[in-house]
Structure 1
Amino acid sequence: MKRKSKSVPVKTKQREADFLPQEPVNYPIAETSVTALQIFHNPERKPTEDGPWSNEADKIAWVDEETGLGCIILRQKNGTLSGYVGVGTDNPLFGFESDAVPVDISTTVHGSITYGKECEVNRFAQEEHGEPRTERYTVCHIRLTRVVRNYRTVQTTKDEFEHEDLWWLGFDTDHLGDLVPKPGWKNKTKKSDVYRDQAYVYAQCIALARRLKGLVAEPYDENHSSSQLLLPQGEVKNGNR
């Protein structure tokens, strides 16, 4: 049974300087580039020492051009990156939890699919304290352009966005043989462990998007539907068109 979200007070105004630039950004990744609709930097999730993660963003959201499906790369608390692809109600895997996804589809990605949840809008990180999820951590919202410079003043998802009827399937990169950058987590680092960087996670996201799109009978066209997202047109300021 799903819990109802509590109402909490939020700031009514947002400094325009916190959202720059206001248009999609060409973000280089994996010897190519994506039109990033969101780029967030969450320095508290990065290791203090230099590494391949130093110049990476901590949340990137974009729409895969070939499938029209939304994709997200998000850094976790242990410093690793996870990848997600959102599907609409017309996809046969809409509503499937991670352990219910067929094995042949789940194994498309690194370590198999470990995440299957609805859009995180209005979800609360700690319901007992009434603390809503902030946009820089959520798996949702890729229709509005958000490149956040000052993440500490970002409003909550509840105030900024309407609900998106998407179901997100995703994977982690903290399995055996993966390098977990931040110390103190369950995985003990070995010299042979490999850090799964943005280029790697991007490739996995694209592979998953292609696989999920193949489950839908209708060919992709440029008409907006529940599972096909279009890039925003024009300027977006403070979450409003």
Structure 2
Amino acid sequence: MTKSTKPPRRGAGSKSRSLVPVAPRSTAIALPERLILGGHAIDPEQITQIPERRPYGDGPWRDEPDRIAWRDLASGYSCLILRQADGTLSGYVAVTLSHPLWCYERDAIPADLGISPHRGLDYSALCDQDAPPMLQICHVHHHARSRQNAPTTADSDASGGRDAWWFGFNTDKPGDLLPHGYARNDHNREAGQKVYRDLAYVAGEVVDLAARLKALEEQAVSLGGDAAAETGVPLVLDGKPKALLPRKGGGHD
């Protein structure tokens, strides 16, 4: 007798668990007044652990949080460090509508500007409103404001809102250690010793990125630049003033 290939019928009260989205769990950590990371003073606005992204095994990541958000003291920009699914840390800085690189795709930024944290940008986008709150690349207060239906305006600053444009970088590049799955460091990757880019290192790269972005903003102001995307912004490249025009086409990983 031929066996039926039809899947068994589910009971009336059963549900398919695969159709139920599960938001990552998170654990908030009490905020210290100030942290010193990589030689930089940081006044944190959020420190969180995300169990689903915690690397296993011994390593410097054992005592690290998985998300830190703060306002950079020197530039005033919002900054974020967020652990990725492979256990590495990524860093992000938000600029405002008045910045000359507002809405620039990451691969449209001229190399002359020196915007290359940890060997290059990997991310450029508006505040992420679709991911679970602890995974959003956005300011820490954005989720609370969105629940209150607070309006955002075209001149809102980088402290949240839809008008914050984020630039970011990953630490999963050649020579970087991926702590969440050790097998990934041995198979289908380059040979040789690999280094885990820890919280202090990533914080240093974030602060440096914020400083470089701030310098560009100040340079554009000194040259009388208008940051409107339609007109471009005059900046000095190769010793000569040039107008930068953003273009579409850069992907967001």
State the TM-score bracket (shorter-chain normalisation): 0.5 to 0.7
State the match for 1:169 in structure 2: 167
Distance in 2, Cα, partners of 1:202 & 1:182: 20
Q: Does 1:75 align with 2:75?
A: no
Distance in 1, Cα, partners of 2:180 & 2:128: 25
Distance in 2, Cα, partners of 1:47 & 1:161: 36
Q: Which amino acid aligns with 1:52?
A: P
**Once the two structures are superposed, what CA deviation does each residue of 1:42-63 show, in whole Å capped at 9, x if it has no partner?**
1221222021111111010111
State the match for 1:233 in structure 2: none
Correspondent of 1:159 among 147, 159, 170: 147
**Once the two structures are superposed, what CA deviation does each residue of 1:139-173 show, in whole Å capped at 9, x if it has no partner?**
112457xxxxxxxxxx8885367534100001010
Q: Which amino acid aligns with 1:200?
A: Y
Specify whether residues 50 and 115 from structure 1 end up closer, same or farther in structure 2 by C-alpha distance, changes over 3 A only: same
Structure 1, 58-67 or 161-170: larger mean CA deviation: 161-170
**Percent of aligned pairs sharing the same letter:** 38
Q: Does 1:181 align with 2:179?
A: yes
Specify whether residues 191 and 177 from structure 1 end up closer, same or farther in structure 2 by C-alpha distance, changes over 3 A only: same
Specify whether residues 54 and 191 from structure 1 end up closer, same or farther in structure 2 by C-alpha distance, changes over 3 A only: farther
Q: How large is the RMSD of aligned CA atoms in angstroms?
A: 2.7
Conserved in 2, the CA contact under 8 Å of 1:108 and 1:207?
Answer: no
Conserved in 1, the CA contact under 8 Å of 2:79 and 2:92?
Answer: yes
State the match for 1:197 in structure 2: 198
State the match for 1:97 in structure 2: 105
Per residue, is there more helix in 1 or in 2?
2
Cα drift, residue 19 of structure 1: 6.3
Question: Which secondary structure state, in structure 2, belongs to the residue aligned with residue 200 of structure 1?
Answer: helix
State the match for 1:206 in structure 2: 207
Q: Does 1:43 align with 2:31?
A: no
Question: Which secondary structure state, in structure 1, belongs to the residue aligned with residue 34 of structure 2?
Answer: strand
Superposed counterparts of 1:2-17, under 5 Å: none
Question: Which secondary structure state, in structure 1, belongs to the residue aligned with residue 90 of structure 2?
Answer: strand
Conserved in 2, the CA contact under 8 Å of 1:180 and 1:187?
Answer: no
Question: Which secondary structure state, in structure 2, belongs to the residue aligned with residue 40 of structure 1?
Answer: strand
Conserved in 2, the CA contact under 8 Å of 1:118 and 1:167?
Answer: yes
Question: Which secondary structure state, in structure 1, belongs to the residue aligned with residue 63 of structure 2?
Answer: coil
Count of paired positions: 181
Distance in 2, Cα, partners of 1:208 & 1:25: 23
Greater relative contact order, per chain length (Cα 8 Å cut-off, separation 6+): 1
Q: Does 1:59 align with 2:72?
A: no
Distance in 2, Cα, partners of 1:141 & 1:161: 16
Q: What TM-score do you get using the length of structure 1 for normalisation? A: 0.66
**Once the two structures are superposed, what CA deviation does each residue of 1:120-152 show, in whole Å capped at 9, x if it has no partner?**
12x2xxxxxxxxx222111112457xxxxxxxx
Question: Which secondary structure state, in structure 2, belongs to the residue aligned with residue 136 of structure 1?
Answer: helix
Q: What TM-score do you get using the length of structure 2 for normalisation? A: 0.63
